[in-house]
Amino acid sequence: MAVRFGVFVPQGWRMDLMEIRDPVEQYEAMTRVAKAADALPAYDSIWVYDHFHTVPSPTMETTFEAWTITAGLARDTQRVNVGQMVTCLGYRNPALLAKMASTVDVMSHGRLYCGIGAGWYEHEWRAYGYGFPETRDRMRAFREATQIMVKMWTEDAPEFTGEYHSIHKPINEPKGVRKPHPSLWIGGSGEQVTLKLVAKYADACNIGGSPDDIRQKLAVLRKHCDTVGRDYDSIIKSTNVPLFLLRPGEDPEKATEKARAPYGFDLAEFRNMVRVGTPDEIIAQLQARIEAGADYINVNLPRIAYDHEMLHRFAEEVIPHVG
């Protein structure tokens, strides 16, 4: 399978809209990036995060909500797929989320990538009144929610009674455009729940970490696929890479100064969060992940809310040389 690429749009979660104060202009800056990516065939998709508070620390800065902007971006664009990396299933009733996803799949003419995960940002959970269940409970609820969403997309009178969620023949029409259901992406690398759900239900997975981490987790996924009789090669294997593209000979300290400013990071701290390198260096890092088994790369590019140059440079100087 040829390697494909997606790009995150700036929605505020990574402190990437701070230099714009008007919220309307913040949204327009975000959608301008989406439209720019839509016009570049190198990008298969655009992505948003499902978070309410900024990282690495909660601040009063803008963070746009994932599903409302997914719907908006679906209408602002014409070609790219639009996804969430990933929807926290603890924040929304899964039957309602399935209905929302079905609607957006129709709005986008079948371009929705519906990403789901168990969630992890404790500050958000508690601030919004969701509590923060123990990992065991979150993962069990995640399993039930995934089953409900697939039922909502594939059955006319779905029923499910679980420990955390239940449905009683809800009507979900239309169910979406893609068949057999909207494209389902599951994020996370837990071997006993998440990767089993990927093998059974998902069109794609998203796994983080180093190339060695990716290789190890995909080996586990392959075993789960064998157990349930799923074709491992039919599953997209994605990973996310925040990166800063230098020009050959450019001083990384000076080049990353504005990108580091929102976090107050020095260069070493920034490098812990973002891959910094020339096109050749970035190509090598991405190639290592592809050799580990990834076939879909989602990149986060700092400061593209203000300047689209890196969006274009990555499409022209990196993507053609990876695969």
List, for residues 53-71, the tens digit of each pLDDT value: 999 999 999 999 999 999 9
Instruction: Decide: 211 and 289 in contact? Cβ < 8 Å.
Output: yes
Overall pTM > 0.85: yes
Q: What are the CA-CA distances from residue 178 to residues 45, 53, 102 (Å)?
A: 16, 32, 9
Give the single-character DSSP code of 247.
P
Is the alpha carbon torsion for 116, 4, 35, 207 positive or negative? Answer: positive
Which domains occur in the chain, in start order? Answer: 4-321 (3.20.20.30)
Predicted pLDDT at 1: 63
Distance between CA 9 and CA 66 in Å, rounded?
11
Name beta bridge partners: 160.
Answer: 167
Could you report the average pLDDT of every consecutive run of 10 residues in the chain (323 residues)?
A: 94 97 98 98 98 95 98 98 97 98 98 97 96 96 98 98 98 97 97 97 97 98 98 98 96 97 95 96 98 98 98 98 92
Q: Would you say how long the chain is, in residues? A: 323
Predicted pLDDT at 323: 85
- Name the helix (H) or strand (E) containing 47: strand 45-48
- Give first-to-last CA distance, the chain, whole Å: 9
